Structure 1
Amino acid sequence: MTALLPPLRLTGATLLRDGEMQKRSLVIEGGVISKGPLPEVDLSGNLILPGIIDLHGDAFERHIAPRPSALFPILAGLRWTDREAAAHGVTTAWLAQCWSWEGGMRGPEFAEEVMAALTAYRPQAHTDLRLQIRCETHMPDTRARMLAAILAHGVDYVVFNDHLPEALEVADRDPHRLALWAERAGETPQTFVARLREARARSRDVPRHLCALAESFDAHDIRYGSHDDPDGDTREYYRLIGARIAEFPTTVSAAKLARAFNDPVLMGAPNVVRGRSQAGNVSAQHLIADGLCDALVSDYHYPCLAEAAWTLVDKGMKTLPEAWAMISTTPAEIMGLVDRGSLEHGKRADFVVVNAESRAIEATVCGGRLTYLAGEAGARLVSAMQRRRMAAE
């Protein structure tokens, strides 16, 4: 982990603070946002925005296995993910790891390996990396095992998803897609179908299983929600269990049900940037225009987080403060992170420096530590630190 930046006053930039863009300085000291006269760094021509908080990203899978048959060590994949996230302004990130009947990289064994690797890597991480468990619902026989792993490794976010109906339909109608799904799990189509049937046989135990998990999550202050709700009935079902966060509802009806109960709705930033879902689901822009989306997540592509905010600004759908809040302030509120998400005094020094003209991220600071540096703003920060070091000598 890099050393803390020295006490500095960043001047000349335009800050996002109190919900508006303000021409004022930002003081950092001891890893937090502070006050007082300190050595200055002129960042004129730049914006200073709160660090991005990503509640769901599975891009780390591609760093571990860029091809199904080309696996790299998990620790190496986490290190590469960490650097990619920092380069795109992310200061807090939940890596979405499956706990699924699918097996392979989405099975319990691999999930436990990822948890252990992240626990080992976290002390040297640049980004505040955390883990989200995507819990397939038809896994009641692994409940005790999953809870033990979650508690042992400090996992604080779980989402329920049920991809079994989709998988069963694929098995019946699409042999090619079934073969690809099986290959990803390291199975033959025949053994993969056997897994599906075993999971389906556990259907009657699922409701009690989910209620037991919810009770444990409540007892340990673990946030939980649901993933890929296909309709309002499904969203209501999970909400009754206590799963308040609606992650990637696939239809307007599911998002409307979440809004009716004031439950937060998360959508993918790539969906916003591309203008549509890669899976053919509801458009995130559509939901945002209708007031049915609260926060954006990287999903599978970190660069899209900041790009999605700018897309909303350019389309006139949001002001910059409103759009940036969807990837910073609101995610912090959803997860109860009171120490970050805005540039208020006393909060963690988590922020990004953005070139106002090119919109390129030129510096990322996480907990008062430089995690990414580039461009003119980067050069000014380096120069200021060199001058300070020379003066101290």
Structure 2
Amino acid sequence: MKERADMLLSGGNVLLPSGDIEPIDVRIRGGYIVGLGPGAALAQVDLGGRLLLPGIVDIHGDAFESVVQPRPETMIDLTLALEETDRQLVANGVTTAFYGLSWSWESNRGLRSGSEPARFLDQFEELRPNLRCDSQLHLRYEIHHLDALETVLQWVHEARIDLLAFNDHLNYIEEKIEDSDRIGILAARNGQTPEEYLAAHRAMRERYPYSLAGVERLAEAGRLAAIPMASHDEESPDVRRWFHELGCRICEFPVNEATARHALELGDDVVLGAPNALRGSSLYKRLSARRCAAEGLCTVLASDYYYPSLLAAAWDIHSRRGLELGRAWDLVSANPARALGLTDRGRIEPGLRADLIAAEVGPNGLLQAACTWTSGTMVYMGGTLAAQAFSGQGNVSGRVAA
């Protein structure tokens, strides 16, 4: 006899791990999926033929920065900013979010500089138990910021980091050095004159041997702590291989196809931006995420700087570019979960977390979240499902998180 579930999601078209879509009920108890098929439950939600999809896992997102710091000189209270970010995430079907907190040598003000990352982390840890989305910390460490190295090592030892990424933007900056207007913008952003900014850049270039030694120390600590690790903006297969040997098995935003292919040959995951996939091209004239997804050169899409892009890009790749929905959705759910070692989510099957999205195509042809659940708790309701529920036309008896 089947034990009574807490909730039954009925009337949905469910995307199964096989890639098949079937009209099957999903039973939830204690925050987990306990079965597929009919059964008794304390509460029921009639999905009315909508798609039921695994919740989105965002491996790399820093759009929260513009919520925390909407103007260069303005910092918003973190409680307010993170609550607003959380609303954006669950409204766009993101059930697990890795907040990409950068700590760089090049910023003299704002969230990425000085003591601000430490202050952010303290408040993030205090606030995240009350956030609706399962919120994790992705530290994007700029490898030449040696002043922060010991603190980052301490954070690793204290298990305060959920994903550690190594960033090196020196070559990107050097590409802009001949453009005086661009250097002026970068300098102003960091509260420096162009001369001060270029002097700081030269100082970082001289640190390279020490920076690489710092990477090796951090990577060893990350391996011992079993933290997933990534490397950002890799420019060659040799660089990818070096990071792979250090235990970094996630290749974020590789600059060229040869590097992406080598990452796949090594069995690593390749992350590209969902905004890139939507636009059809990179802002920096690098790899096209849309083409790479279609050709199997990309295993994971990330929101990067725009949270709504994940839901939209996965649907666009399926509905307009012809990729099967299961493969398109794996890019934003099953694959990032696997890459991050989160074996309890990313698929709709018994024993996994009930992180789910009921989705519908809106009047403009875009896929939108009608309802989002994290660990079986309804955290968002919108679209026509909300209209039906509050007009008394629909059968929605699940509790929405306060």
Q: TM-score, normalised by structure 1?
A: 0.91
Could you say which residue in structure 1 is the equivalent of 2:140?
134
Say whether the 8 Å CA contact 1:277–1:284 is kept in structure 2: yes
Shift of 1:201: 2.3
Is 1:312 the equivalent of 2:320?
no
Q: In angstroms, what is the RMSD of aligned CA positions?
A: 2.1
The answer to whether the 8 A contact 2:294-2:323 is kept is: no
Report if the CA contact (8 A) 2:45-2:398 is conserved.
Answer: no
Find the counterpart in structure 1 of residue 40 from structure 2. 37
The residue type paired with residue 187 of structure 1 is Q
- In structure 2, the CA distance between the partners of 1:381 and 1:10, relative to structure 1 (3 Å rule), is farther
Shift of 1:315: 3.2
Match of 2:165 in 1: 159
Q: Which stretch shows the higher mean deviation, 127-136 or 74-83? A: 74-83
Task: Provide closer, same or farther for how the CA distance between residues 304 and 387 of structure 1 changes in structure 2, counting only shifts above 3 A.
Answer: closer
Looking at structure 2, the residues matched to 31 and 294 of structure 1 have their Cα atoms a distance apart, in angstroms, of 28
Of Structure 1 and Structure 2, which has the larger fraction of its residues in helix? 1
After superposition, the C-alpha distances for 1:215-243 in whole angstroms (9 at most, x for unaligned) are 10011111111111122222223223222
Residues 240-267 of structure 1, C-alpha deviation per residue, up to 9 Å, x if partnerless?
Answer: 3222210111211110111111111011
Structure 1 183/117 Cα, relative in aligned 2: closer, same or farther at 3 Å? farther
User: Any conservation in 1 of the 2:7–2:398 contact (CA below 8 Å)?
Assistant: no
Q: Which moved more, 1:325-334 or 1:142-151?
A: 142-151
Q: Matched residue of 2:14: which SS?
A: strand
Counterpart among 322, 331, 338 of residue 326 in structure 1 = 331
- The code of the aligned residue for 1:275 comes to G
Q: Is the 8 A contact 1:353 1:377 kept in 2?
A: no
Partner of residue 287 from structure 2, selected from 264, 272, 282: 282
Partner secondary structure for residue 173 of structure 1: coil
Q: How does 1:23-102 map to 2 (within 5 A)?
A: 23-35=23-35, 36-38=39-41, 39-102=43-106
Q: Which residue of 1 aligns with 2:382?
A: 374
**CA distance, structure 2, for counterparts of residue 245 and residue 108 of structure 1:** 27
Distance 1:303 1:143 in 2: 33
Establish whether residue 200 from structure 1 lines up as the match of residue 197 from structure 2: no
Q: Match of 1:301?
A: 306
Match of 2:8 in 1: 9
SS at match of 2:115: helix
Deviations 1:330-353 (A, max 9, x none): 111111111111111122111011
Per-residue CA distance 1:26-69 (angstroms, 9 max, x = gap): 11222221243114332122111000000000101110112212
Unaligned stretches of 5+ residues in structure 2:
none
Secondary structure, aligned partner of 2:260: helix
Alignment of 1:351-370 (within 5 A): 351-355=356-360, 359-370=367-378
> CA offsets per residue over residues 62-84 of structure 1, 9 Å max, x none?
10112212321233222211111
Q: Which amino acid aligns with 1:343?
A: I
Q: After TM superposition, give the deviation of residue 356 of structure 1 in Å.
A: 5.0
Q: Which residue, out of 229, 232, 236, partners 1:227? A: 232
- The question of 1:341 aligning with 2:324 is answered no
Q: Secondary structure at the residue paired with 1:300?
A: coil
Whole-angstrom CA distance in 2 between matches of 1:387 and 1:245: 41
1:3 alignment counterpart: none
Write the letter of the residue equivalent to 2:383.
G
Sequence identity percentage: 35
Deviation string 1:284-334 (CA, Å, 9 cap, x unpaired) is 122223221101110111111011111111234411111111111111111
Judged with a 3 Å threshold, the aligned counterparts in structure 2 of structure 1 residues 40 and 147 are, in CA distance, closer, same or farther, namely same
Displacement of 1:153 in angstroms is: 6.0
Amino acid at match of 1:91: T
CA distance in 2, matches of 1:388, 1:58: 32
- CA separation in 1, counterparts of 2:286 and 2:116? 29
> What TM-score results when the alignment is normalised by the length of structure 2?
0.89
CA contact (8 A) 2:311 2:368 kept: no
Superposition pairs of residues 233-312 of structure 1, within 5 angstroms: 233-312=238-317
User: Take 1:58 and 1:220, find their aligned partners in 2: how far apart are those partners?
Assistant: 24
Decide whether aligned partners of structure 1 residues 388 and 21 sit closer, same or farther in structure 2, where only a CA change above 3 A counts: closer
Residues 116-146 of structure 1: per-residue CA shift (max 9 Å, x gap): 1210111210111111111112133432111
Mapped contact 1:31–1:369 kept (Cα < 8 A):
yes
